[in-house]
Amino acid sequence: MIYKIKPLLICAVLIGVQTVSASAQAFSDPAALMKNSSVRKAFEFIKEIEPETIEEQIKITEIPSPTFQEQKRGLYFRDRFEELGLKNVRIDAVGNVIGERMGSGGKDAPTLVLAAHLDTVFDENTSLVTKREGTVIKLPGIGDDGRGLTLLVAIARTLKQFDIKTFGNVYFVANVGEEGLGDLKGVRHLFNDELKGKITHFISIDGTGLGVTTGAVGSKRYRVTFSGPGGHSYGAFGMANPIHAVGRLIAKVSEFKTPSEPKTTFSVGMIRGGTSVNSIAREASFDIDMRSVDPDELNKIDEHFKKNAQAALEEENARWANRGKLSIDIKLIGDRPTGSQSQE
């Protein structure tokens, strides 16, 4: 069943950039496309090479590639894109690996970016040992986005194998900085710099599902830091405590009310602070993630959070008003807009 996503993507690629067969016949819909013998053979081919595709998927996933440390996996893709005959293969200023397959329509023709992300949520200390249980393969990152990356290779290989021509241009991109604090670093660079003004179509291959996503969940992520003079837990007792302030704010966050539709969520994911059990910390911080499919709801929870952050600061300072005051710093560490498009 895994291979089904590949014909779907091949079809999307070819329709998106106006496929032209060797006889110069153009195709603009799936039914017409499937009547072409080269395309039909291509679909059979990608089924046939599935065992090879799976092995390459494992090989790719076994290359460590945490966010901001994608270089080794990026070099693999640079070499692979060159082997597949893609043109102008390069690693751009932020680490994206790009290979071009130009169509017959020239630089002004429609341009599709087919992308999958190099980085994984797993850190450099994660064991990347493959385990097989029947037809099930267990390996951190094998789906997200080991599968997507492998499909870049499989699709480029298939187009080359059957010499399928397109009027439009196809850019194969293994992009960096998709996960967590990467904040879409690689894709932002494509649109704002490397391929600015060129992209007319964009498909991101992410995960193992067979669905097509036409909407994007927006998010706001902050690192909130409370700071103060700090001191000994006994000798300086009565001083405002950054860790207590963090606790106050997290308690407030836990009581937030959000709608189930449009789905809106929040989560404190990391907490930091303190150096010993017998001291009042000078600093404490936490990271919060807030998401919604609706921009208005995202703005509402964003503003509500900031008001509660200020309230937590004031409450902690008021509770221990006699010795030193805390300050707060709210740093935006992630900002992903919501978005949607027609499902047609």
Question: CATH no. for residue 122?
Answer: 3.40.630.10
Query: Are 260 and 187 in a shared domain?
Result: no
C-alpha count within 13 angstroms, C-beta hemisphere, residue 172: 30
pLDDT at 26 over 60: no
Whether the CB-CB separation of 17 and 201 falls below 8 Å is answered with yes
**How far is Cα 172 from Cα 170, in angstroms, rounded to an integer?**
6
For residues 69 and 122, membership in a common domain is answered with yes
> Does 110 sit behind a cis peptide bond, omega within 30 degrees of 0 on the bond before it?
no
> pLDDT-derived band of residue 13, with 50, 70 and 90 as boundaries?
low
Residue 124 placed within a domain: yes
- Rounded Cα distance, 176 and 97, in Å: 8
| Tokens matching residue 189 | 């660079």
Query: Where is pLDDT greater, at 16 or 242?
Result: 242
Q: Is the dihedral of CA 45, 46, 52, 56 positive or negative?
A: positive
Examine residue 119 and say whether the peptide bond preceding it is cis (omega within 30 degrees of 0). Answer: no
Same domain, residue pair 209 and 245: no
Residue 153 has pLDDT above 60, yes or no: yes
Q: What is the mean pLDDT of residues 285-296?
A: 97
List the end-to-end C-alpha distance of the chain, in Å, as a whole number.
24
With cut-offs at 50, 70 and 90, classify the pLDDT of residue 3: very low
State residue 17's pLDDT score: 59
253 in the same domain as 193: no
pLDDT for 22 equals: 42
pLDDT band at 99 (very low <50, low <70, confident <90, very high): very high
Of 3-7, 103-107, 141-145, 207-211, the poorest mean pLDDT is in 3-7
Average pLDDT over all residues of the chain? 90
Domain count, the chain: 2
The alpha-carbon radius of gyration of the chain (Å, integer) is: 25
User: So what's the pLDDT on residue 207?
Assistant: 73
| Same domain membership, residue 300 and residue 197 | no
| Predicted local confidence at residue 1, as pLDDT | 30
DSSP conformational letter for 120 = B
82 and 230 share a domain? no
Q: Is residue 344 part of a domain?
A: no
Residue 28: band (very low, low, confident or very high) from pLDDT cuts 50, 70, 90:
low
Same domain as 224, residue 201: no
Residue ending a domain, choose from 189, 214, 239: 214
Q: Which domain holds residue 52?
A: 2-214
Q: Residues 59, 135: one domain?
A: yes
Whether residue 80 is predicted with pLDDT greater than 60 in this model: the reply is: yes
| pLDDT tier for residue 23 given thresholds of 50, 70 and 90 | very low
Length of the chain, please? 344
Which of 153-167, 234-248, 255-269 is the least confident region?
153-167
Q: What's the whole-number mean pLDDT along residues 85-109?
A: 95
Give the domain-ending residue among 179, 198, 214: 214
Residue 264 C-alpha from the chain's centroid: 19
pLDDT at 24: 38
What's the confidence (pLDDT) of residue 6?
A: 55
Identify whether residues 117 and 42 lie together within a single domain: yes
CA dihedral 278, 283, 289, 290 (to 10 degrees): 110
Lowest mean pLDDT among 99-113, 205-219, 311-325: 205-219
Q: Under a CB-based contact definition with an 8 Å cutoff, are residues 66 and 124 in contact? A: yes
221 forms beta bridges with 289, 334
189 and 242 in a common domain: no
CA gap 302, 337 in Å, rounded? 13
SS3 state of residue 337: coil
What is the C-alpha separation between 2 and 208, in angstroms, rounded?
8
Share of the chain above pLDDT 70, in %: 90
Q: Considering only 17-26, 59-68, 186-195, 219-228, which range has the smallest mean pLDDT? A: 17-26
- CB under 8 A, 24+ apart: contacts of 52-55: 53/3, 53/6, 53/150, 53/151, 53/153, 53/154, 54/2, 54/137
Average pLDDT score over residue span 11-28: 53
One domain for residues 178 and 258: no
Check whether residue 127 and residue 31 sit in a common domain. Answer: yes
Give CA–CA dist 322/57, Å, rounded.
Answer: 61
How large is the average pLDDT for residues 211-234? 92
Helix (H, G, I), strand (E, B) or coil at 99: strand
Amino acid 132: pLDDT: 94
Residue at a domain's end among 214, 241, 266: 214
Q: What does the pLDDT average to over 248-263?
A: 97
